[in-house]
Each structure stands twice: as C-alpha cells, then as structure tokens.
Amino acid sequence: MKVGIFGGTFDPIHMGHLLLAQQALEEVPLDHVWFIPASEPPHKQDKQITPSDHRVRMVELAIENNPAFCLSRIELDRQGPSYTVDTVQELAETYPNHQFFLLVGADMVKDLPHWYKIKKILQFVQVIALGRPGVDLEPLAADIAASVTWISGGIETNLSSTLIRHRVAQGKTVRYLVPDSVCQYMKEHGLYGT
C-alpha cells in the first residue's frame, strides 16, 4: 500500500492543504493520505498555536467526505517537538509493508536541509512536493534533491493558514478558502477572533 503522510500545524486546515493532498493522491498515485496534525511543530516553538483539539477536529471535518483521506493521531500524544523523523520511523516499524511518501509544500522543501535528522527521514520516505506561489526555490544538496519529486503541472495556490486567521480576525469571509464545515466550526468556537 502506498501512503502519503501529510504533517502540518493545520491552524486551520484550508483548501491549499486539501489540493496538495488530492493532487499527490492522483499523481503518485497513492492509496491513502494520512493527515498528521503536529502537537508541537518544531519550527513554530516560539509561536502561539491553537490547542490541538480544535486543529484536529477541523481536519476531521475537512476530510470526512473523502474515503482516501484519514487522520493520524501519531504526533498528538508525543511529548516535546513533533519531529518528523520520530513519526516516519514509528510508521515504518508499525507498517513494514507500506511505502510512505512525505507530502510538503515548497516552503518546507526549502526548509528540509534544516530538519532534524533529515538524512534519516529520507531513508524512510520519498518527498512529494507542490509549488507555492511566492516561494523562491534555492538549489538543494544533491542527496536531498534526489529524494524530492515535484507534482508536475500542479494547481498551486497562495492560500495559507496565516491568511485565513487574518481574514477571520478582520471579519472577512473565508468561504471557499476552507470547507464550509470548517467555517462553521470556527464560528461556533469563536476561533481566530470570530
């Protein structure tokens, strides 16, 4: 079985995330995509993020109609920074017959050389990447570049969770930028200044 693992802060999940996952699903092709909300994203330690209960519930709502998408809680119970190396190692041990692909946007491709134990991560996964308007790519070291496959002719968006949070805080609509169910959840729970 070919499984895409898609880690993120998802604060909140938006259509850019869903488009990336769907395109990876079709392009590789994958059997499933597992969305993996980070408990403590390693490079956002100094930022305030929404409690994981809310972030996880919004992911569940966003993916509920897609049978190929599911949620993994693997990082939620772990203490300390949610390092991807720990996740891919645990998944490889638990599911020895699965082939794992790590889904990332272009900003994260740029960041890969700085990830904790990146060489070890790349022993377990192939990286599937989607461009992100506004992210200028720099040449990667050859060993990392060899592990990255770009989604060709992909539909790219400059949507971000930051944009969603700012729009909600300003009282602007985020309809069609996030699934309706996520919009509703944010309102009901007064997230991001609603």
Q: Which residues bind ligand ATP (CB under 6 A)?
A: 8-11, 16-17, 20, 104-105, 107-108, 130, 132, 157, 159-162
CB of 184 to ligand NCN, least distance (A): 23
SS3 state of residue 33 = strand
Contacts of 86 (CB under 8 A, 6+ apart): 78
- The dihedrals phi and psi of 93, each to the nearest 5 degrees, come to -70, -40
CB of 108 to ligand NCN, least distance (A): 5
Complex with ligand ATP: residue 93 or 127, whichever CB lies closer: 127
Rounded Cα–Cα distance for residues 36 and 59 (Å): 9
Among 52, 72, 82, 157, binds ligand NCN (CB under 6 A): 82
Contacts of 60 (CB under 8 A, 6+ apart): 71
Output the residue with the shortest Cβ distance to ligand NCN.
Answer: 7
Among 8, 12, 131, 179, binds ligand NCN (CB under 6 A): 8
Rounded Cα–Cα distance for residues 40 and 86 (Å): 13
Among 23, 50, 72, 84, binds ligand NCN (CB under 6 A): 84
Q: What does 83 interact with, of ligand ATP, ligand NCN, none (CB < 5 to 8 A by kind)? A: ligand NCN
Quick one: CA dihedral 40, 42, 48, 50, positive or negative?
Answer: negative
Strands 32-37 and 99-105: unpaired
Among 95, 116, 119, 137, binds ligand NCN (CB under 6 A): 116
Output the residue with the shortest Cβ distance to ligand ATP.
Answer: 105
Beta bridge partners of 99: 2
Among 43, 57, 78, 110, binds ligand NCN (CB under 6 A): 43
Complex with ligand NCN: residue 38 or 186, whichever CB lies closer: 38
